[in-house]
Amino acid sequence: MADAGYDDWVAAIADGEGYYLACPDGHGSLPPRRSCPHCASDELTEEPLAETGEIVTFTEVHVPAPSFADEAPYVTAIASFGSVRLTGVVRDVPRSDVELGMAVTPDVDVNATTGEQVLVFRPVDE
């Protein structure tokens, strides 16, 4: 099933060319969207997503939904990229090393259970 707007956004992240939608007042949001969720401006432009974000909260999920059955336990996090935040699965780092404030970069990987694409965060070497 195709999801216009969202699929293009995921493909751009996979290509290392992630973007977000910005309104004239500087609010950020993600597609598909026709107006800013913060001020309702319909003048949205695509702006480059910051290459590096920072984890603001996370959880290790032990009881998964069926679509993540083969992934559990896995870490899902919300990370801040300037004026937008993204939610993704943390890859390439043991749970014990995941912490608030950790620098991550967004990428796209395969959900082992469904074979579908999933937004992931990978640690940034500092």
Partner 1 sequence: MNDVRIAGVGLTKFGRYPERTGRDLFAEAALAARDEAGISRGDYDEVHYGNFMGELAEGQGHQGPVVAEAAGLDCPATRYESACASAGVAFRQAVQTIRGGGADVVLVGGMERMNNLGTSEVTRSLAIAADELFEVRAGVTFPGAYALMARAYFDEFGGDNEDLAHIAVKNHANAMTNEYAQFHREITVEDALESPVVADPLTLYDACPITDGASAVVLVSGDYADENGLDAPVRVAGSGQGGDKAALQDREYLAQTPAATKAAEMAYADAAITPDDVDVAEVHDCFTIAEVLALESLGFYEPGEGIGAAARGETTRDGDRPVNLSGGLKAKGHPVGATGTAQVVEMTKLLRGDHANSDAVPDARVGVTHNAGGTVASAVVHVLEVMN
| Footprint of partner 1 (CB under 8 A) | 3, 6, 29-30, 37, 56-69, 71, 74, 76, 78, 84-89, 100, 116, 118-119
- Kindly state the tokens that stand for 43: 């003048």
User: Helix count (H) and strand count (E) of the chain?
Assistant: 1, 8
Smallest distance from partner 1 to CB 105, Å: 15
Nearer to partner 1, 22 or 74 (CB): 74
Q: How far is the CB of 124 from partner 1 (least distance, A)?
A: 19
3 state SS of 105: strand
| Whole-angstrom distance, CA of residue 3 vs CA of residue 6 | 6
* Other CB atoms within 10 Å distance of the CB of residue 54: 16
Tokens of 11: 């493909």
Q: Closest approach of Cβ 34 to partner 1, in Å?
A: 15
User: Nearer Cβ to partner 1, position 43 or 70?
Assistant: 70
